[in-house]
Every structure is written in structure tokens, then in C-alpha cells.
Amino acid sequence: MEENTVHQGGCLCGAVRFEVRGTPKRVGACHCRYCQLRSGSAFGVSVYFPHEDVTVLQGELKSYAYQTESGNTTENQFCTECGSNVLWKVGALPDYTGTAGGSYDPPTFWYEIQREVFQRSSADFVNLEAPESHATIPYYDPQVPEDERLKGG
């Protein structure tokens, strides 16, 4: 993919539109309970770009921030009209903005999943066969006890 490639996407109702430029720096499927809860699905797909390569073209985003057991803060950004979670920032990846893999305009799935993380809480019916796979995440280092509700399984 070329550095001048542009992809656009947005929320369900169309109020929020965004654009990304260049090649994603990381693409992953995450089976952690946080991603399951924020997406309402069995896993979340994150397509990460440097902050400067992500532009909100229109619409208003509301943020919800929370601290994970690793001590990192995650900030989810979602449409104030329909509630679609379209962007996020993760403390463990301070230079990047995550974009929702399913929020892109057609061809929606133009990227390739590079790795799966938090497979310990993966749904039994999910089999993505990513090139790289981890029970948690390589740099996972809980600083506080995990909330039992978020362990999955």
C-alpha cells in the first residue's frame, strides 16, 4: 500500500466521517473483554495509524476513557448521534489512533489482520488464523487485580 493512499469511513448514521492516509502501522483482532464490550461483538478489529494520519472530516465525537488493569488509559470516541465507536486511543500505543475495522467505506476490508491478541477470551466459534497470535498481548503487565467480569472465558 502506498503512503499517499486514502481511505474514508464513518459511523452508522453518517454524522461522523473520518479519513486515514498511508499504510496502517498495526492491524489486529482483539478478543479482550474491553473490545468485546465496546463493540458488542466477539472481538474488535483495530486498524492503527499515526495520529497525524487520521482526520475527522465531520461530526461530533464523544469520549469515554477508562483505565485497564495494566494501568493504561483507553479513550473510546463515538458518534454523539448513533453511538458507533469509530476511533480510540490506547495508552500502550501512545503515538497511534485506532480506527474501527468495520467502519470503512467499501471496499470495507482492504487491510489484512496481522495478529490476534487476548485469545484467552476468544469465543469458541472464532477462528481467524492470523499470522501472529497471543493468549494476552506481548507487553501485558497487570498492575492491579483483574476484574473477574473482564476475564472472559
* pLDDT tens, residue by residue, 141-150: 888 777 777 6
- CA 14 – CA 28 distance, rounded (Å): 25
Question: Which pLDDT does position 1 carry in this prediction?
Answer: 57
Percent of the chain's residues with pLDDT above 70? 95
pTM of the model: 0.91
Q: What is the pLDDT along the chain (153 residues), one digit of tens a residue?
A: 567 899 999 999 999 999 999 999 999 999 998 999 999 999 999 999 999 999 999 999 999 999 888 888 999 999 999 999 999 999 999 999 999 999 999 999 999 999 999 999 999 999 998 999 999 888 888 887 777 776 665
Q: Residue 146: inside a domain, yes or no?
A: yes
Cell triple for residue 41?
461483538
What is the number of domains present in the chain? Answer: 1
Q: Residue 1: inside a domain, yes or no?
A: no
Q: Residue 78: inside a domain, yes or no?
A: yes
Q: Residue 140: inside a domain, yes or no?
A: yes
Q: Residue 111: inside a domain, yes or no?
A: yes
Q: Residue 138: inside a domain, yes or no?
A: yes
Structural domain range at position 93: 6-150
CATH number of the domain enclosing 18: 2.170.150.70
- CA 13 – CA 59 distance, rounded (Å): 10
- 46 near 25, Cβ under 8 Å? no
Question: Which pLDDT does position 152 carry in this prediction?
Answer: 61
Q: Residue 55: inside a domain, yes or no?
A: yes
Q: Residue 93: inside a domain, yes or no?
A: yes
Q: Which residues contact 41 (CB under 8 A, 6 or more apart)?
A: none
